[in-house]
Amino acid sequence: ELKFMERCIKETLRIYPSVPFIARVLEEDVIASNGCVIPKGAPAHIHIYDIHRNPKIWSNPEKFDPDRFLPENCRNRHPFAYVPFSAGPRNCIGQKFALLELKVALCGILRNFKLEPVDTPESIVLITDIVLRAENETVRVKFVPREK
């Protein structure tokens, strides 16, 4: 079932969502927390990157902790606190396929190699574009063959 791998993938997507923000057009008037009315038809930008790092939602949000996704830790979490593939009627139709493909690829790699970081997370400069990416387009990882 690869439950631990699944939790690691979810935690990675929480810290580094592939698509860091999404845009929608409001279908009805919305009253913001400060009382302002945002009219129907206005564009809304949802910053997934910021939601996933909000300390009001996630304790110690910069820390990599796959146990955040244990069933008992998800039970009381707001359903829109974790949205790496968006949510609701316009969510990513390929999310289950993407996660399955990622698991298959990782199993193939991890069966044959140990992965060691070359770059530290602190040394990687992220660019928020249509997709979240490293500034120089490179994140270096060393593949160390496993003994058979």
- Residue 138 pLDDT > 90, yes or no? no
Share of the chain above pLDDT 70, in %: 100
Question: Where in the sequence is the domain holding 40, given as residue range(s)?
Answer: 3-145
Total domains, the chain: 1
Query: Is 107 annotated for ligand binding?
Result: no
Residues 134, 37 contacting (CB under 8 angstroms): no
Residues 8-60 pLDDT 10s: 999 999 999 999 999 999 999 999 999 999 999 999 999 999 999 999 999 99
Structure token pair of residue 37 = 């009315």
Query: Could you count the other beta carbons within 10 Å of the beta carbon of residue 95?
Result: 13
What is the pLDDT at residue 130? 83
CATH number, domain with residue 84: 1.10.630.10
